[in-house]
Amino acid sequence: MKLLEGKVALITGASRGIGKAIAIRYAQEGCNIAFSDVRRDENMELCEKELLALGVKAKGYASNAASFEDSEKLVETVANDFGGIDILVNNAGITRDNLLMRMQEKDWDLIMDVNLKSVFNLTHACQKIMLKQRSGSIINMSSVVGVSGNAGQSNYSASKAGIIGFTKSIAQELGSRNIRCNAVAPGFIITDMTAQLPEDVRKDWEKKIPLRRGGTPEEVAKVCVFLGSDLSSYVSGQVINVCGAMNC
């Protein structure tokens, strides 16, 4: 029996990167996948194709996770199309790094909307379905810098720390209805997001990691399989670092 056989997962920002790796790994475990991204483009179509080839039901939706209205509509549509939502992975996230001195108000607001408000939007919309089902697993993508902070990323770190507070609160609020909520805090993972960094900054990060390398999206996805499945049936309100001991 596969670990997520017959379940339905909704994963935000999953046309590429960590979100896509979670979608693929979940599908390999028999999970039907609804995923969103800002637009329907070639990445979304490719991801949809790769998921369907794994023999599960899969569909990509263009939806802005930062929009409350979009998120409500998305959850309603997915619930109709798939007949429920067992696992919500709030993965969508972006960076607008700068020193505080140079940070503009719009960069603060954008990061809060895309990284933090999105988690509220989707969880708020999904709770009705999960409450009715009396089960659910919510996984929120935080970051090690949400735990430790990082110079030049005050907006991003604050949004990721906010996710941790939200996660622990929801775990307490919805636990009695058999709904679990956990956060994953990846360290330095090799995706398009980290590819934006200059070569010397990337090398510097890698030197500081005890495992001496960046992680792969698949390594984050494996932890999300654990949190989405019954393997973690008594795990809720936790933050699991996936960082090669960078943050310990």
Site string for ligand NAI, 16-55 (x = CB under 6 A): xxxx----------------xxx-----------------
Q: Nearest approach, Cβ of 223 to ligand NAI (angstroms)?
A: 12
Residues 71-100 that bind ligand NAI (CB under 6 A): 91-94
Site residues (CB under 6 A) for ligand NAI, limited to 128-147: 141, 143
Q: How far is the CB of 24 from ligand NAI (least distance, A)?
A: 13
How crowded is residue 141: how many other Cβ atoms within 10 Å of its Cβ?
Answer: 26
- What are 240's two structure tokens? 């699991």
Q: How far is the CB of 197 from ligand NAI (least distance, A)?
A: 9
26 is catalytic: no
Nearest 5°: phi and psi at 183?
-115, 145
Tokens found for residue 118: 């999105």
Identify which range of 50-58, 59-67, 121-129, 173-181 contacts ligand NAI by CB under 6 A.
Answer: 59-67
Reading phi first (left if > 0) and then psi (alpha if -120 to 50, else beta), residue 89 is in beta
Among 77, 148, 150, 194, binds ligand NAI (CB under 6 A): 194
| Closest listed residue to residue 138, CA positions, set 177, 193, 111 | 177
Tell me the closest approach of the beta carbon of residue 176 to ligand NAI, in angstroms: 28
| Sequential DSSP letters for 162-218 | HHHHHHHHHHHHHGGGTEEEEEEEE-SB-SHHHHTS-HHHHHHHHHHSTTSS-B-HH
Q: Answer yes or no: are the C-beta atoms of 62 and 40 closer than 8 Å.
A: yes
What is the contact surface with ligand NAI in residues (CB under 6 A)? 12-13, 15-19, 36-38, 64-66, 91-94, 114, 141, 143, 186, 188-189, 191-194
Catalytic residue numbers read 156
